[in-house]
Every structure is written in C-alpha cells, then in structure tokens.
Amino acid sequence: MRSQVTADSEPMVVPATVDNSSLEVIHDASGRIVAIHWPHTLQEDCDRYLHESINKLFGPVATVPYLKRVKQVLTDGEPQQFQCVVRCGPHPVGLDFSLSATEWPDAPGQKHLKGQGSILTIAGGVKMPQHLSTMGIVADLPCDAQAGLRANLSNYHGVLTNIASNIRKTLELKTIWQQTVDGLGNLLDLHRCLVCDYSVAMQTLNVVAEFHQPKLEPCLGQTFELERKADFRCTINTLKPVLSDFERKDNDSGPYTVLTVATCYRDEPNSVLLLQMPPERPWHPLEIELVNELTDQVGTAIAHAKLFEASRTLADDLQKVNEKLIDKNDELEEARRYAEEASRLKSEFLANTSHELRTPLNGMIGFLRLVLDGMADDPEEQEEFIEEAHKSALHLLNLINDVLDIAKIEAGKMEIDLTAISLQELFCDVENFTRPQAEQRGLYFDMKMPATLDEIKLYGNYQRILQVLLNLIGNAIKFTPEGGVTIRAEVKPQSLRFRGRVWPGHIKISVEDTGIGVSLEKQNRLFQTFSQVDGERTRQYGGTGLGLAISQRLIEAMGGKVQFISMGEGLGSTVTFTAILYQEPVIMAETEGKQSA
C-alpha cells in the first residue's frame, strides 16, 4: 500500500520506497493496524490482522521503546531506520525497520486520521527469515530470500538457556569456559569460538578455552596484548559487541567476520568471547543480541568461580600458614625444652666440675701443708707427700685444660695447625703415658700397628691427636674394672678432599675396652657438651664429662670423624676416630702377595 496526500493537507514525510518482498503496515499512534500489505501473501491472510494491535501481528519484544519511536516520528516528522527484535509466534527474530509518518485517506471502514499514522517497512530480500511463515503471513519466499540466513533461530533461546543452566551448576572455572565455547560453537555452527581471560594488571588476554573446526589451527594458550588488539580494546572499554572483518590466512578464501563480546560482572569485564562465523554467512542482529544476553550470565558465573577459587586458595594458604604456625610452635616448644635441659645439664656440669676441681686442689693443699708443718717422719715420706701434691696439680691442670678447650671450641676460637706427623712416634708416646696406668689396675694393654714397609704419616696436629688418644685410652682404663684395652690402627686407602686438596686416604684408630659399656638409650648424649651420661657414675669415677665432646670437635676440625659403639651396659665399648693419611704406605701383605704371584 502506498501513502497518499489529500488536497487540503500537506504531506509530513514521504514514506520510503519498498521492494516487492517487504511487509508494509500502517498503524496509528497506539499501534492499531489500519492497513497491511505484502505482495507474496494472499490479501485475505493479511486482512485478518486489520483493526488488531501491532502486537497481534508480530509484536516487538520491547513494545514500549517501539511506540516511543512512533511518537517521536509523528512529532518531529523525521523518518527512522533501525533494527528491532520481534516475536514471530513464540520465536524472536531480528528485522530491519524503516519508520516514517504519513497521511492517508479514509481506510475502508475507518475515519480519516490526519497526521496520526505511521508506515512500518520491514526490509525483505536476503535478510528476511523464514520463521515469518509460521505466522501464516508468508506462504512462500522468493529464491533470493531463501539463499540468505539459514540459522535455526527458533532453537536459540532453548539452547542458550541450557548453556546458561549448565554453567550455573558448576564453580569450576575451566568447566565454565569450555562449556561456553562448546555450546556457542555448536549452536551457531562457528568456525572458531574462544574465551580469553582478561588480566587487568597485565592488560593482556589469554586464550583459556577454545572451540574450532578441525581444519583450523588451535590457538589455546596464546596471549594477546590489549594495546595491539583494537577490537578487544573497544569491547573492553565500551562493554558492547564489536564486529570486525579480517582477511583469512588459512586455505579458505575470502574475508571472515569476528564478533568480540566482553563478559562482565557488576560492569567490570573479566573475559572476552571471540566468535568467528564461516565466511559465507554474515552475523544476524538477533544472533548478536542473544550472544550478548548469554555473556551477562557467563560473566557472573566466571566471577563467582574466580571468587570461589580465590576463597579456596585463601583457605589453603591459611591452612598452610596454620600448619607452619603449629610447626613453629612445636619448634619453639622443643627449643624451650632443649634450653631447659641445657640449663639443667650446665648446672649439673658446674656442680660436678667444681667438685672435680676442688678435689685435686684440696689434695695439693693438704700434702703441701703436711710438708710445711713438718709432719713427715723422714725424707722419704716428705718426698711422697710432694709427689702426691704434684699428681694432684697435674690432674687439676688437665681439668682446667678441658674447660678451657671446650670454651674455645664453643666460642669458635680454637685454632689448629696441621702438618705431617709420624703414627709410630705418636703410638710410642701414648704407650709410655698409658701402659703404666693400665698395668697398675691389672689390665692388659695391646697396641697394634698395620704392617707396612715404610713409615705411616698422618696429616694433623700432633698435640691434639695425642690429647684425643690419651683422653679415649684414659676413659677406657678408668671404666674397665677387669680385662683390658686394645688400641689398633688400620689404613683405609680411599681418596678424599680436605682443605682444597686430595689426600690418599685415612687412618682408622680404634680404642676397645672390656669395661662397663653404655646402654643404647644413653649413647646419644655422649658427645653433647655439658651432658653426662650418668651424674652419679661421673662422681664415682671422676672427670668433667667433656672428654668425648672435646675429642669429637678436635677430630672434626682435622677432617676426621668420631664414632662410639657399645652393645649395652657390661658389654664393653669401642671408640673409633679417623685421621687423614698424609701419604699412602706400602702394605706388607699386598707386597708379599704380588711377589708370590
């Protein structure tokens, strides 16, 4: 139907020219239809919509904004062209509208309404969807219309509702991402669909989920910088869908169109959807609108999943911190117990040491007092008193040396000069000092050297190794009521590195006794400073209890190790230590074996 102008009125707006496939509707300002025409439909089918509301025909989904446009056109007389989503039966469809004001003579059965009507032109051709045929208006479309958009728009709402329902059922971020791209990719038959996670801090978008046709290369894991992607930047800044055309780089010919849509939560973008249509199919406005509608729900789901993930991470971090605090508390409690035990051991050590120091000192004073008071009956007895005082003085000196040595070691001020020393000479001096002590107690005393053709030399400090040996042998004699003591040396030709130099091996020296031994549960206290295995036994046998601790520190400073072995109380004990071998000697047994061979 074409608009006409009466002789006594001036035309407001000349309506736009329409083609043969367009639907032409005239209605008043309230939306009541007064004329309808579509060339491809029987006029009887159109006439049944006369005098009905525009909603009866196809009813714009948003009726109020549509009627506002009608009022504006009637007021200012300026035509408007726009896209609008209408309802074709139960289905939403996006169509192109041309809206302009006109005057017409009285329609059949109607009074003349001047300046109160409007003409609505729905553009047809390739953009006319086939769903209008479900209304009874369109019987058949021309072939050129059927060659247009073929997407099954009638199923969009149901599928999109299902996608939204699925992503709301999970708080797993990866599942939400993948369900979104798979759902949209299959629904719209896309070539590619991506979810790009948006990093505000880095201003980057990382591809975290992807749907693509098999012939396309995957791009999962790629990162896009926002400043280099104008389409991403535009949709992030405006929060509106953006259509962009790109030239293809794969085997397919022709450009393709990409839709980018930002997903948001409380107007803050958290990701971008990238949807690539096949090159032969353009985007329909309805498809863009429905995708945009889904992104609101996807953005909310992503935000909730990230909040859940952040809360779970925070809970894990708090759990780890709590565990660390518990461990720290246990460490502090253990340190407190250790400090209390160390304080107790030091107090016990000081008590025992003060007793040990007073005993030889009182002996010295007593014997010297006897000599000074002339209490000796003859010169021989006087000499005996002086000899006992001298022994007490030597004993006191040894005790004081032990205390001073451990003090230096604890302060890190023990300096030891190392050089080559003779093992034979060392054993000779040890025997001279200790054999008389063992024999006085009725104990046997054996010293065994390895059989070699040349002299065995060690790398160490002569006085300190002698001090260690005298201490270990003295303890063995002191704690052995019967039996005896055996000292042996073994060559261990295995190269080792010490002080930046490689040495040919080490000597293992063992001090074995048949004495009282040490119980297994108390052996771990033998090398602790200020710790005595048994305070009562220490007072019984004398000594400070520092001998093994000092010996261990001295041997370790010279590159060796100390080890204590005892099978239990009453089963004797063996203390071994190693010293660096200065040069490897020729073993007699090996030489004889080679000669006989």
What average pLDDT does the segment 235-252 reach?
A: 78
596 class by beta-carbon count within 10 Å (0-12 exposed, 13-18 middle, 19+ buried): exposed
Residue 315's alpha-carbon distances to 37, 123, 173, 325, 341, in angstroms, are 67, 58, 17, 15, 38
Which CATH fold would you assign to the domain 23-150? Beta-Lactamase (3.30.450)
List of residues 6+ apart from 459 with CB closer than 8 A? 418, 419, 420, 421, 498, 503, 558, 559, 579, 580, 581, 582
Q: Taking the alpha carbons of 128, 130, 135, 136 in that order, is the dihedral positive or negative? A: positive
Mind listing the pLDDT tens digit for each residue in 115-173?
Answer: 445 555 554 433 333 333 333 333 333 333 333 333 344 456 666 777 888 888 888 99
Q: Is residue 498 predicted with pLDDT exceeding 70?
A: yes
Q: Is the pLDDT of residue 3 over 90?
A: no
What tokens were used for 486? 């055996």
Residue % of the chain over a pLDDT of 70: 73
pLDDT for res 443: 94
DSSP, res 222: -
Residue 38's pLDDT is 67
Between 245-249, 262-266, 580-584, the lowest mean confidence (pLDDT) is in 245-249
> Out of 107-121, 327-341, 453-467, 523-537, which region has the weakest mean confidence (pLDDT)?
107-121
Q: Band of the pLDDT at 520, cuts 50, 70, 90?
A: confident
Q: Residue 1: pLDDT above 60?
A: no
- Would you list the domain boundaries of the chain? 23-150, 154-312, 415-594
What would the pLDDT profile of 448-482 be if each residue is shown by its tens digit?
999 888 889 999 999 889 888 988 998 899 899 99
241 three-class SS? coil
pLDDT at 5 over 90: no
DSSP assignment of 95-119, as one string?
EEEEEEEE--PPPTT-----S-EEE
538-578 residue pLDDT tens = 545 555 566 788 788 889 889 999 999 888 888 899 999 99
Residue 485, token pair as written in the block: 């003591």
Give pTM, 2 decimals.
Answer: 0.40
Question: What does the alpha-carbon distance between residue 506 and residue 519 come to, in Å, rounded to a whole number?
Answer: 30
Is pLDDT at 91 greater than 50 in this prediction?
Answer: no
| Range 569-589 average pLDDT | 87
Average pLDDT over residues 226-247: 87
**CATH class of this structure's domain 154-312:** alpha beta
Mean pLDDT taken over the chain? 77
Is the domain spanning 415-594 CATH 3.30.70.20? The answer is no
Which are the contacts of 429, defined by CB distance < 8 A and separation ≥ 6?
466
Phi, psi values for residue 286, rounded to 5°: -65, -40
**pLDDT value, residue 18:** 37
Give the per-residue pLDDT at 121. 53
- pLDDT at position 120 is 58
Query: Quick check: 448 and 487 in contact, CB under 8 A?
Result: yes
Do residues 56 and 49 lie in contact, with contact meaning Cβ atoms separated by under 8 Å? Answer: yes
Instruction: Check for a shared fold between 23-150 and 154-312.
Output: yes
